[in-house]
Structure 1
Amino acid sequence: MSVFDTIVMVDWAGGNDRGPTPKKDAIWAAVNHDGVAEEPAYLRNRQVAEEWLSNLLEQETARKRRVMVGFDFPFGYPAGFAHALTGSNNPIDLWHWFEERIEDAPDRNNRFELAGQINRALSHGHGPFWFCPPGQEIEGLPATKNGYRNPFPERRQSEARAKGAFTCWQMGGAGAVGGQVFTGLPVLARLRRQFHAAIWPFDALDREVAFVEIWPSLTVGTAPDGMIKDAWQVTEVARQVAALSPERLAAMLDVTAPEEGWIFGLGFEQELAAPPLRNDCFALPPGVHWTLVDEALTMLRDRLSPVTGFETVRLGAALGRIAAADVRARRSNPALPNTAVDGYGFAGARGEGVHELPLMPGRAAAGDAPGEVPQGHAIRILTGAALPAGVDTVVLQEDVVRDGERIRFSGPVRQAANTRKAGEDVAVGETVVAAGRRITPADLALLSATGSADLDVRRPLKVGVLSTGSELVEVGAVAADGQVYDANRPMLLGMISRFGHEGVDLGRLPDHREAIELRLNEGALACDVILTSGGASAGDEDHVSALLQEAGAMSLWRIAIKPGRPLALGLWRGKPVFGLPGNPVAAMVCTLIFARPAMDLLAGADWSVPQGFEVPAGFSKRKKAGRREYLRARMRDGRAEVFASEGSGRISGLSWAEGLVELPDQGMEVTPGDMVRFIPFGSFGV
């Protein structure tokens, strides 16, 4: 049983009370309820942290919610240490041993003194622990690692595989976990008794509360500017774990390490980690005032990368999902040489003239296990049947005369006629679906034929949609003079669904800076990317672009495009934000041209270029140089018609149209019959 309702991640600390002001080296904790993250909690010392955890677990268990709590310190020591100290290999006995001996108060604890006592008691005074605080001398505890002898392995098996792992024998210094273990295990021992918690990987996870060892540094990168690293890491790890499917979570928890323990996610780092985007990923080169469409698309393609995690799904649930890795054929297709026709099989070619062969009893049909046919004999064989041993050629039944137990036919018949080779379509080990491909019904047929019952896919991209503007009202409400109904949000959510992503409705807000900032914070916790409409330019009420600018990760791209032009691009708490124009026509065109391929890339799919077709124009137009233009269009009688008005306020043109006519950056004059590029909405996936 591995389904949890609440994920908690705790970054522990072994030092003294840090005071009421949040500090980067204190204890931080994050909670994720059903995929929705809370703000990280600052816990100034271990006593506060234990009380906070106890209260949280009481609340969650009272609601019958299963909770998984991750801690960033080892749950066990290298093999042999527990037995040397307690006489038992059971690591939980070691927890109780520490609980009985650790003295811990907000201003001090005895972790260094206890480490020295252990060293003196083990192996003739040679113990495993080292690091004495500067200016102190503690009997039995070396100040440095130099010259000391360790009677135990330097690292646990999991730590040997974890890049950059510190040994648990180091009691202090940068990155050390030794002090965290000494002070953390007693707290876990008490909470374990209080809530009858299961300890992974020592216990079966069949209880309401489970404690798991997780190291955020394995999967979490650099924190966004202005956010404390530990606070960011616990929030991100809780999000990563909460996003796992039950099957993937169960696979990561399927570990046997009865004495030393294990680090959750080890070996699955790439799957858990979403590569962070750079704060300058949307920055334009100095001096750029206008950006051509092709240049903007190239910058997006080169600077964005997938942000979604991985999960394993059954083949029947894979339609429309994005392959997370290359899928190789587990079985050749065909698996064995077989016949392409109904007829009679034998070995070798036959030349000119009449040939007569004795017939074997029975027949070979599709699904039969291949038998064997002696040299010089033939067998009745049906389409799709595997070729029996001794058969490599088939003659059509229409070309054969059967006389009792013999057949006659006229040559010539070439060797291997009317047969298929094993692996003729796909050989075992060949790539049948490449990473980044969105699975189609045809892919399901190929994957089934080559033996894939399940496959690794990307999690759906969660795209938040936020409308801003004091003039907007919700559809169904009474619109006062000067107000308009919010048309963008339902349009964008519908487009996102058609693109194959998961839309998250972030609602509609007036032009209030504080409200927009709060909603962006909420969206960054719940979504992978955010689309806003309105407030993306540089006016007094354009709060989206102003907030992104102040966050230090925003560029206002003035793109040479009609309709459109201003497009605010930035990062908010590490999540990409596309600030679309408020006009619905411009918002739709910018979404199709820029946001759609960018979101595909963020979702883990290949960069997509819409398929256009050169068709005769059914309209006239004189176009100035300098901007790429997209006209609402449809095909009628083999020609592209365009909407009567180019006004971007004419929303009816979007519904009228079946696609876009794309006119190049250069100036041109279009007359009826000239060839123009028509891109059907279907090429965009809508």
Structure 2
Amino acid sequence: MKGFDTIVMVDWSGGNDTGKTPRADAIWACVARQGRAEEPVYLRNRAQAEDWLVELFEAETRAGNRVLAGFDFPFGYPRGFAQALTGRDDPFAVWAWLEEQIEDTPHASNRFDLAAGINQRFGGKGPFWFNALKRDIEGLPRRKDGYENPFPEKRAAEEATKGAFSCWQLGGTGAVGSQVLMGLPVLSRLRKRFDVAVWPFEPLTGQIAFVEIWPSLTLGAGPLGQIKDAWQVQEVARMVSNIGSDVLARILEVDAPEEGWIFGLGHEADLRHAAAQPPKLTNDCFALPPGVHWTPVRETLDMLRARLSPVTPVSTVPVGAATGRILAHEVMAQRSNPPLPNTAVDGYGFAGGKAAGVHRMPLAEGRAAAGDAPGVVPQGHAVRILTGAALPGGVDTVVLQEDVTLSEGHIAFRGPIKPGANTRRAGEDVQEGAKALEKGIRVGAAEAALLAAIGVREVAVHAPLQVAVLSTGAELVQAGDAAQPGQIFDANRPMLLELIRACGHVPLDMGIVPDDRALLAQRLDLAAGRADLILTSGGASAGDEDHVSALLREAGAMTLWRIAVKPGRPLALGMWAGTPVFGLPGNPVAAMTCAMIFAAPAMARLAGQDWQEPQGFDVPAGFSKRKKAGRTEYLRARIRDGQAEVFGSEGSGRISGLSWAEGFVELPDAAVEITTGTMVRYIPFGSFSM
């Protein structure tokens, strides 16, 4: 079966217009493509939702895209109802009947009266129930008192799904009965207007497929502060767009000719696995705009930033196991920090501040220490209190013990003391329910402390980025091995492996491959099967022995990025078996420079972090240089005596300069003349995601 280009998921509503302000219990929709979900769309009523769907389907049809559209209400009723209502065992007969009978405006509908009329056909005590109107309706009970249902209470899908509601209940939290009555007429009209196939009643050969979804099948309430319906449709859309064709085929193998079925029921593990997968990069993510020959460094970085996205799967781990991992979702505080108002010092607590002058107060019995449950201090009394203790009831101010005289059950001290002195407010650091950490942050010691303090037990994190490193060239031998005349030791691979490790990723050593195209293809296959990203050095230009770029070009997924940078040569960027490849120059200095400038932030983004911009500083130059326009230059440099000094030779073969340096001096692509004291931009090596 051909796959789907566009996924749209819709959370429906059977109620009336919900107003201009986005809110829960409204209609929400979300579009996703290739594992990337757009922002959820708020649709205030069914008329607006139908217009939005028509516009979307028309645009997708014109573009030749196949669409999978999910709606969160049953497509069929329990067995026997279609025959009893329409005389046919055909769910579409029910769709057409409801389309004719339902009257719907943004502010009113006849759904309750229509349900009562159906009930009257079958004795007036069912199958529908729950009248939500102020007026009584004959034949439609408000509750299940005296209720009788001539049909099964639930479909087989609901019987197999814990927590699913019967489609006969028209109102109440979680009920879907009104959504069915008000949703099927819309689907019936859309089915007539477009090339639509409805699962599981029809083979999905049309350009548009309708499926029934239930977001709660695999999703919970969602993050604090977000509208549940909006979050759920976004997550379901992203999840479904991540499903592989083989898994999708298994999910669609269902025999439910009359009742319908919930998409993914029985395949929850497959759905959760898809939900944890990030979007894969496409083969054209490295494509350059037409006519581009030499690309400035800033434009190169901007293009990488715009086109790259996380590729590592997501899992939930205990906070204690999250250190070093990257947060996949924002984290909301489960508890305020501090949870209760407390004292910042050892001293004596009482209520309110005190004016200037001497004050005497009776001392209450006992004391308040860190860890004690807060008691209550009588009005007008003070209590002994120790650093970190929660403030007892009746205490909001603390005077330092050094400022107090204690005698005969009283304390004396001199004012003035402001109300709230020497105390910490509850939640003054982080309030319960507030956002504590953004997604894309690597969890370090400070983040681990904050997560523990705000009561978070588990967090969603990205798996570590696996980066394969491969050196190419017949001239290379492993350091320490015997080198023949004309051969050199491979310096790039140990350099890149350590850079990857310093950036927090997992390096995979794929060794050296001679100038043998077939052997290189085999090694790339092996690397693609193990890694999320492949870094190669050498063979990335357009010469006879540049086999990396040649193989990527043969695979139909290679772009030679000619970047206006010195030191450096063109970067070969492409995909091999679905895995991105960065083909770095073979020269060690150029390879190190390009890896830090371009590959380090790209790796951070692929790993789930936000794009990492290196922090630079303007410092006076301790050197002189005249530079022509045309390329951004990176000089190996270090700071001494408050000035930036640069390595004595700019030769790109001088590896010793990398060890000597502690950062780069970045010179712009414009022509510049630098003399001692000229301000230049210095970027420490530690700023490059390391």
Matched-pair contact (CA < 8 Å) for 2:341–2:391: yes
The answer for the alignment partner of 2:300 in structure 1 is 296
Deviations 1:174-232 (CA, angstroms, capped at 9, x unpaired): 499xxxxxxxxxxxxxxxxxxxxxxxx9xxxxxxxxxxxxxx99847589xxxxx8479
Check conservation: 2:242, 2:277, Cα contact below 8 A.
no
- In 1, distance between residues paired with 2:602 and 2:577? 18
Where does structure 1 lack aligned partners over 5 or more consecutive residues? Answer: 1-12, 14-22, 25-77, 85-118, 132-141, 177-200, 202-215, 224-228, 236-259
Aligned partner of 1:378 in structure 2 is 382
Hey, what does 1:315 align to over in structure 2? 319
1:423 corresponds, among 427, 446, 456, to: 427
Alignment equivalent of 1:552, drawn from 550, 556, 566? 556
Contact 1:345/1:391 (<8 A) preserved = yes
**1:246 aligned residue:** none
Residue 142 of structure 2 is aligned to residue 153 of structure 1: no
- Following superposition, the deviation at residue 348 of structure 1 comes to 2.0
Distance 2:635 2:200 in 1: 68
Relative to structure 2, which stretch is displaced further, 288-297 or 617-626? Answer: 617-626
1:99 is matched with none
Amino acid at match of 2:280: P
SS at match of 1:380: strand
- Please say if residues 627 and 665 of structure 1, whose CA atoms lie closer than 8 Å, have aligned partners that are also in contact: yes
> 1:402 maps to which residue?
406
Whether the 8 Å contact between 1:324 and 1:435 is mirrored in structure 2 is yes
Deviating more after overlay: 547-556 vs 618-627: 547-556
3-state SS of 2:268 partner: coil
Whole-angstrom CA distance in 2 between matches of 1:477 and 1:322: 39
The one-letter code of the counterpart of 2:323 is L
Q: Give distance in 2, aligned partners of 1:512 and 1:217.
A: 44
Q: Measure the CA separation in 1 of the matches of 2:574 and 2:311.
A: 15
Distance 1:218 1:234 in 2: 18
Q: 486, 496, 510: which is aligned to 2:490?
A: 486
1:333–1:313 Cα change, 3 Å: same
Match of 1:281 in 2: 285
Q: Is the 8 A contact 1:329 1:450 kept in 2?
A: yes
1:627 counterpart residue number? 631
Unaligned 5+ runs, structure 2? 4-74, 98-150, 166-175, 177-186, 188-195, 208-217, 219-235, 251-263
1:567–1:218 distance in 2 versus 1, CA, 3 Å: closer
Alpha-carbon contact 1:346-1:394 (below 8 Å) kept:
yes
Alignment CA distance shift 1:367-1:405 (3 Å): same
Matches of residues 31-430 of structure 1 in structure 2 within 5 Å? 153=155, 155=157, 170=201, 172=203, 174=205, 219=239, 230=245, 262-265=266-269, 268=272, 271-430=275-434
Cα distance in 2 for residues equivalent to 1:375 and 1:620: 75
Query: Is this contact kept in 2: 1:333–1:422, CA < 8 A?
Result: yes
Cα deviation digits, residues 57-115 of structure 1 (max 9, x gap): xxxxxxxxxxxxxxxxxxxxx9999xx9xxxxxxxxxxxxxxxxxxxxxxxxxxxxxxx
Could you say if the C-alpha distance between residues 175 and 414 of structure 1 is closer, same or farther in structure 2, counting changes exceeding 3 Å?
Answer: same
Deviation at 1:576, TM superposition (A): 1.2
> What is the alpha-carbon distance in structure 2 between the residues aligned to residue 505 and residue 455 of structure 1?
30
Q: Report the Cα distance in structure 2 between the residues aligned to 1:232 and 1:520, rounded to whole angstroms.
A: 27
Deviates more, 1:465-474 or 1:264-273: 264-273
Of 440-449 and 459-468, more deviation after overlay is shown by: 440-449
Distance in 1 between residues matched to 2:387 and 2:375, nearest whole Å: 16
Conserved? CA contact 1:129–1:170, under 8 Å: no
1:439 is matched with 443
Deviation at 1:603, TM superposition (A): 0.7
Range moving further from structure 2, 406-415 or 453-462: 406-415
Q: How does 1:482-631 map to 2 (within 5 A)?
A: 482-631=486-635
2:659 — aligned with what? 655
What's the counterpart of residue 464 of structure 1?
468
Tell me what 1:665 maps to. Answer: 669
CA distance in 2, matches of 1:653, 1:233: 54
Provide the C-alpha distance between the structure 1 equivalents of 2:316 and 2:454, rounded to a whole number of angstroms. 18
Name the SS of the counterpart of 2:673 in structure 1: strand
- Secondary structure in 1 matching 2:327: coil
3-state SS of paired residue (1:535): coil
2: distance between equivalents of 1:300 and 1:218?
A: 22
Q: Does the 8 A contact of 1:323 with 1:436 survive in 2?
A: yes
Q: TM-score, structure 1 length as denominator?
A: 0.66
Dislocated runs of 4+, deviation >6 Å? 78-81, 126-131, 144-147, 157-161, 164-168, 231-235
- Identify the residue that residue 40 of structure 2 maps to in structure 1: none
Aligned-partner Cα distance in 2 for 1:624–1:358: 81
1:456 is paired with a residue whose SS is: strand
Question: C-alpha displacement at 1:581, in angstroms?
Answer: 0.6
CA distance in 1, matches of 2:76, 2:441: 45
Q: Tell me the alpha carbon deviations over residues 496-525 of structure 1, each in whole angstroms, 9 at most, x when there is no partner.
A: 111111112222111222222222222222
Do the aligned residues in 2 keep the contact of 1:265 with 1:272 (CA within 8 Å)? no
Q: For residue 401 of structure 1, report the CA deviation from its aligned partner.
A: 1.8
C-alpha deviations, 1:329-381, integer Å up to 9, x for none?
Answer: 21111111111222211112322333222111111111111010111111111
8 Å Cα contact 1:221/1:276 also seen in 2: no
- 1:457-514: per-residue Cα shift (whole Å, max 9, x none)? 1111111111111222222321111112221111111111111111122221112222
| 1:613/1:173 CA distance change after superposition, 3 Å | closer
TM-score, normalised via structure 2 length: 0.65
Alignment partners' CA distance in 2, 1:492 and 1:451: 39
Distance between the aligned counterparts of 2:242 and 2:401, measured in 1?
70
TM-aligned CA deviation for residue 318 of structure 1: 2.1
Shift of 1:657: 1.4
> What SS is found at the alignment partner of 1:579?
strand
8 A Cα contact 1:274 1:306, kept in partner: yes
The question of whether the paired residues in 1 share the 8 Å contact of 2:369 and 2:385 is answered with: yes
Q: Percent identity?
A: 58
* Distance 1:266-1:416 versus aligned 2 partners, 3 A rule: farther
Superposed CA deviations along residues 129-158 of structure 1, whole A, max 9, x for unmatched, are: 999xxxxxxxxxx9x9999xx977385566
Mark the CA change 1:417 to 1:173 in structure 2 (over 3 Å): closer, same or farther. closer
For 1:622 and 1:310, the matched residues in 2 are separated by 50
Please give the alpha-carbon distance, in whole angstroms, between the structure 1 residues aligned to 2:420 and 2:467.
55
What per-residue deviation string (whole Å, max 9, x for no partner) do you get for residues 628-675 of structure 1? 111111222222221121111111111121111111111112222222
Which amino acid is 2:316 matched to? T
- The alignment covers a number of residue pairs equal to 505
Task: Say whether the 8 Å CA contact 2:336–2:427 is kept in structure 1.
Answer: yes
**1:519 and 1:230, CA in 2 relative to 1: closer, same or farther beyond 3 A?**
farther
Equivalent pair of 1:130/1:171 in contact (CA under 8 Å)? no
Q: Classify the secondary structure of the residue corresponding to 2:521.
A: helix
| 2:318 counterpart letter in structure 1 | R
